[in-house]
Structures are given as C-alpha cells and as structure tokens.
Amino acid sequence: MSTGFFGDIKSVRYEGPDSTNPLAYRFYNPDELVLGKRMEDHLRFAVAYWHSFTWPGGDPFGGQTFERPWFGDTMELAKRKADVAFEMFSLLGVPYFCFHDADVRPEGDTFAESAARLDEIADYFAGKMSATGVKLLWGTANLFSNRRYMAGAATNPDPDVFAYAAATVKQCIDVTKRLGGENYVLWGGREGYETLLNTDMGRELDQMGRFLSMVVDYKHRIGFKGTILIEPKPQEPTKHQYDFDVGTVYGFLKRYGLENEVKVNIEQGHAILAGHSFEHELALANALGIFGSIDMNRNDYQSGWDTDQFPNNVPEMALAYYQILLSGGFKTGGTNFDAKLRRQSLDPEDLLIAHIGGMDCCARGLKAAAKMIEDKALSAPLEARYAGWQTAEAEAMLSGKRTLEDIAARVVREKIEPQPKSGKQEYLENIVNRYV
C-alpha cells in the first residue's frame, strides 16, 4: 500500500519532550487537553499541497532541485502525487490539507479540459480522504501562475480574464464544497499592479469588489457553509497588492459591504513583509471581527521576499497563539503550513522533519499561551491599566454622551493635569518569558 517514497518510516508519534527521535513529536500530543480542548482541535493543522508536492525547488536564480518521481504533466503522475501526499498526511497524523487547483492536476488545453481534470482528481481525493480520515481545511484557485493572469485576475484590464477567473473560482468552490472543505481562500497574488502608469486603481478595486460579491452570493446560493477567506499580502509578485494587510482588507470589505461575509487568512510571513508583527495582524483582525485562519510560516527577518519557512521561534509563536486564543480560537480556520522546504532539503524525510518541527513549535506556543491565559498573566495587568475607563464620566465620554465642549469645560473646571504611569513593558516581557 505504501508508495515507498518515505522508505520504512512509520507513523510519527508523540514521545514527549525528552525524545531525541527526529521523527517523533516532542510536544504535539493530539489528545492532550489544553484549556479543556484537545490540542488537535485547537491547532487544526493542515499541510499545503503546493509547497510540499508541486514546488520544484526553483528560485529567481535557479531551477529545479527536487527530483520527485511524480513530477510531470500527466494525470497518472498527478494521482501518484496524491498517493504520496495522503501518505504523508497519514504519517504525520495531520487532520487537514489545503490545495489549489493548479497543484493537483495538470493544466488542460482548454478551460473545459482543465475543469474535467480537476473533477477527476477531486474524486480521487474523495476516496483518499475517506480512507485516511484527512479533511480539507480549504480549497483555492491559482489565479496567478498562468500567463493569462499576468495583469490580474478579477482586476485584469481584459474582461475575458475576469470571466475566466470567475469560472475557475466557481468550479473550485464546487469542488471544495464537494470535499467538505471548511473554508475557501482567495489570495490575490496578481490583484495589484506593476506600475501606476498603466493602472486605473479605482476601476480595478471595483472589479475586485464585484468579483468577491459574486463569490459570496454563489456560496450562499449553493449552500456552502464554509468561510470565505482573503489572504492579505503587501506585494510580491506585484509591486503592490490590493490586499496589502489586515487593515487594508477590512477597508475593502467595508467599502463593498462584505465585512460580515468574509474573514482573513493571516500569514506570519506576509505580516512581516507588510511591516507588522504577526501578533499585530492577529490582534487587529480580532478587534475588527474578521479573524479567520492562519498560515503559520515565517519569513526571514532579513529577506525582503516571501521565504515561506517552517516556523521555529517559540516565543514569537506563543504570542501568536495568545492572540488566537483571545479571539476565542479557530472556528472554521486552522493552522496551515504554507511553508516550503529550503530548496537544499532534498531528502524525503526532510518533508516530515520540517512539518514535525513546525507542529512541535506550535504545540509549545499554544501551551504557553494557554497557561498565560489561565494565570491571567497578561490580562490582569491589562485590565488594571485601563481601569480608569470604568468610571461613569469616562464611560459617558466613550459612549458619546459628552461633547468636545463638555469635556473642555470639565478639564478647566476640575483642573485636570494627567500624570503618566509606567507602561511596564519590560516587566510584561519578563512575564512572558516565564511561559516560553
């Protein structure tokens, strides 16, 4: 039954913190309870099909480094790839995977042929999913690799490309629904511009708003219960991507009346590229009510492009899961590794090792975050800091019962001269270091 790709490696199991087995979990223990919920149900791990099984190892200055037996453009090889992929999902014990249409089937000569191939592979996947119990966290359409999308998909100056993209997304939502997917993601890698000189930004935003509205309408019409997610990224491949960051996406959703319909899939690496910390983007999405899911892959802090590395810094990850727990945890979302092996990591086992390391770090981060919440380690000082806002007069200001004149008069009358208090940042940082 085994494809043989992973040799004689058996299921990766939890062996505890002291294990030195590189093919065991030291912290990820699916059934362990954290804040009363199973760790697996907190983290909801997913493997990304593309990076692990389709990416050849190229970069802008070099070509293929991986030599996988399933590389090639036939449906037979696509199925062989699926065999290995599901084998890896099972070896790792991850509950979910994610895919783009372009990862799983070779492009056809026509739209119809591409669509037929996706349907065929979706059936193949359905069998695999049933056999392994692995579920679909989200599906998505690749609207950026083919040259037809070079100037955008929804935002293309050519309405035929808009139409082609719409047809593609329709099928991908259909397939996602058929496979029980819990979310559907849109990443607008080409929805932006290379130069303003040839771009009508207002028009393109309207095109993008229309496209997303049609997607939301369609979802409801067919009864797809999953969440529609936008994945922000500031740039790359474009000079500017319209879904720059969480704040920008929120404004876009508000503009087109979609803020209650669509949420965000936040990637650590994209946050960094936009000049934010990951926890900032999570906290902001939570404050704005649009937090959905995460791509837990880090960016190198010194590299100005998307490095999509497996995460490995536990203190940072603890702060991320802290924000996620504050938001109430994942609903339909999860922890996807939209991460690629370094292109020099050629061995089959490297695929497993990379995921194991990432999952273990997530588990450590989650546990630290949960403990901070249990102890009110950060929330108690936070509440104390804002306690002044509990007075009646302060509440009246905030609720709109006071005008600028009212307040100005009171400042003079009561001779208010505020005295600053310590923000205790280093103290709080030390607190966090008790947990990580």
DSSP conformation letters of 326-341: HTTS-SS--EEE----
Contact between 130 and its own copies by CB under 8 A: the answer reads no
429 is written with which tokens?
A: 């940082």
191 is annotated as contributing to ligand binding: no
338 in a known ligand binding site: yes
Query: Which residues, including other chains, have CB under 8 Å from residue 94's CB and lie 6 or more apart?
Result: 45, 46, 47, 134, 355, 359
Measured distance CA(80)–CA(426) in Å, rounded:
53
Are the CB atoms for 39 and 374 separated by under 8 Å? Answer: no
DSSP designation for 97: E
Query: Mask 224-263, x = binds its own copies (CB under 8 A)?
Result: ----------xxxx-xx---xx-xx-xxx-xx--------
Strands (E), 11-145: 33-34, 37-38, 45-48, 96-100, 135-140
Which residues from 179-198 bind its own copies, rule CB under 8 A? 189-190, 194-198
240 is catalytic: no
- CA angle at residue 228 from 223 to 229, to 5 degrees? 165
Instruction: Assess 350 for contact with its own copies (CB under 8 A).
Output: yes
Alpha-carbon gap, residue 91 to 242, rounded angstroms: 38
Residues linked to residue 306 through DSSP beta bridges, in sequence order: none
Kindly state the smallest distance separating residue 200's Cβ from its own copies, in Å: 6
Site track for its own copies across 289-318, x = CB under 8 A: -----------xxxxxxx---x-xxxxx--
State yes or no: residue 33 binds its own copies (CB under 8 A): no
State the catalytic residue, choosing from 42, 51, 100, 276: 100
361 binds its own copies (CB under 8 A): yes
217 a known binding residue?
A: no
Total residues interacting with its own copies, rule: CB under 8 A: 161
Omega into 418 within 30° of 0, i.e. cis? no
- Listed residue (175, 263, 177) closest to 223, CA to CA: 177
Is 280 among the residues that bind its own copies (CB under 8 A)? yes
Give whichever of 78 and 273 is closer to its own copies, judged by the CB atom.
273
Told to check if 378 binds its own copies by CB under 8 A, we report: yes
Q: Which of 169, 175, 228, 363 binds its own copies (CB under 8 A)?
A: 169
Stretch that binds its own copies, among 29-37, 77-85, 92-100, 148-156 (CB under 8 A): 148-156
Nearer of residues 41 and 120 to its own copies, judged by Cβ: 120
Calculate helix-pair angle for 111-132, 159-178, nearest 10 degrees.
20
Q: Least distance from C-beta 389 to its own copies, angstroms?
A: 5
Stretch that binds its own copies, among 76-84, 123-131, 175-183, 409-417 (CB under 8 A): 409-417
Q: Is 406 annotated as a binding residue?
A: no
Tell me the window of 5-13, 56-64, 75-83, 177-185 that interacts with its own copies (CB under 8 A): 56-64
Q: Is 371 in the site for its own copies (CB under 8 A)?
A: no
Catalytic annotation on 103? yes
Q: Which secondary-structure segment (H or E) carries 28?
A: none
Interface residue with its own copies, options 7, 160, 223, 328 (CB under 8 A): 160
Q: What residues pair up with 33 in beta bridges, in sequence order?
A: 38
Q: What residues contact 366, with CB distance under 8 A and at least 6 apart?
A: 34, 39, 42, 43, 318, 321, 325
Of 46, 143, 56, residue with least CA distance to 98: 46
User: Which range in 28-36, 84-92, 130-138, 416-424 contacts its own copies by CB under 8 A?
Assistant: 416-424
Q: Which of 101, 103, 245, 360 is catalytic?
A: 103
The DSSP bridge pattern shows strands 37-38 and 33-34 to be: antiparallel
* 220 touches its own copies by CB under 8 A: no
State the Cα–Cα distance between residues 255 and 209, nearest whole angstrom: 8
Residues with catalytic roles: 100, 103
Residues tagged in the binding site annotation for Mg(2+): 231, 267, 270, 295, 306, 308, 338
